[in-house]
């Protein structure tokens, strides 16, 4: 059997099905359990993902083929592989959001995490497309991103977060503040020479992203060109919140009739 993985092939959908089944089964098992138990399970899952992430990066640092594939980016560099990207930063933020019960942070993780993980899964970078799923770098890349995807969704399926329209302003504020904090990290890495290519959250450069290139044409300054993304996120988040509001209304109607 051909185990080559590329977006939307049989292996990709099979892998996605496994992780979605994991989410469904765990959500059903935890239904009716205490909030403490549900929080513990989700935090533990994030910790396992976090450890797996660094094991995957360690394997990547030893991968000569990968180093050749990204030679134009100066090869593998630990400073460029920290969990500060839009998707994998959620391994850190989800436990903090759950343990502190911070709704804006939960909103960031729920709305940003799955969207960015899905983008990484369907638009993989060099070295992660059309290779066997059993390669360490493929297991690490897809395992990490699928886990981030289901862990962010689990905030809702575990009953730890209920998206409501009143959550929109504080969630947008959280997105802005977190992005600005990461921009400062990028700037510090570049200024000190620790990592001259630091570009977490695409806060310094667009890296050829066509949409961000348009925004950069409007606002030719690092970080600031990301501001139009808030408007796009506001529309996306409003649509999702509207769907949840409709679902709650339908559920109330059924209970009233029952």
Q: Which tens digits make up the pLDDT trace of 184-236?
A: 999 999 999 999 999 999 999 998 888 899 999 999 999 999 999 999 999 99
Q: At which of 101, 133, 162 does a domain end?
A: 162
Q: At which of 112, 130, 162 does a domain end?
A: 162
Spatial CB neighbours of 253, under 8 Å, sequence gap ≥ 6: none
**Per-residue pLDDT averaged across 3-9, rounded?**
93
Give me the domain span that covers residue 114. Answer: 1-162
121, pLDDT greater than 80: yes
Q: Which pTM was predicted?
A: 0.92
**Per-residue pLDDT averaged across 65-81, rounded?**
84
Q: Which tens digits make up the pLDDT trace of 205-215?
A: 998 888 899 99
Q: Who has greater pLDDT, 125 or 148?
A: 148
Q: Are residues 223 and 253 both part of a single domain?
A: yes
Q: At which of 162, 179, 205 does a domain end?
A: 162
Q: Are residues 1 and 123 both part of a single domain?
A: yes
Q: Are residues 49 and 133 both part of a single domain?
A: yes
Q: Quickly state the pLDDT bin for 45 (edges 50, 70, 90).
A: very high
């Amino acid at each position: 059997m051909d185990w080559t993985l590329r977006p939307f092939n049989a292996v990709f959908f099979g892998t996605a099905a496994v992780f979605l089944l994991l989410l469904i089964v765990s959500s059903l098992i935890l239904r009716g359990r205490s909030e403490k138990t549900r929080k513990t399970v989700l935090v533990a899952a994030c910790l396992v993902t976090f450890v797996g992430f660094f094991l995957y990066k360690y394997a990547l640092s030893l991968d000569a083929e990968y180093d050749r594939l990204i030679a134009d980016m100066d090869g593998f560099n630990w400073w460029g592989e920290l969990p500060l990207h839009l998707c994998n930063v959620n391994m850190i933020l989800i436990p903090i959001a759950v343990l502190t019960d911070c709704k804006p942070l939960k909103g960031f993780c729920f709305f940003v995490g799955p969207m960015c993980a899905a983008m990484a899964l369907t638009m993989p970078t060099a070295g992660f497309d059309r290779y066997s799923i059993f390669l360490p770098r493929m297991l690490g890349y897809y395992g990490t991103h699928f886990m981030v995807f289901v862990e962010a969704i689990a905030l809702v399926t575990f009953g730890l977060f209920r998206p409501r329209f009143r959550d929109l302003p504080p969630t947008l504020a959280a997105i802005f503040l977190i992005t600005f904090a990461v921009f400062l990290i990028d700037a510090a890495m570049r200024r000190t020479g620790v990592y001259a290519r630091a570009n977490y959250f695409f806060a310094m450069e667009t890296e050829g992203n066509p949409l961000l290139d348009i925004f950069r044409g409007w606002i030719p300054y690092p970080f600031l060109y990301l501001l139009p993304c808030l408007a796009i996120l506001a529309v996306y988040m409003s649509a999702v919140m509207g769907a949840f509001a409709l679902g709650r209304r339908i559920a109330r109607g059924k209970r009233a009739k029952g």
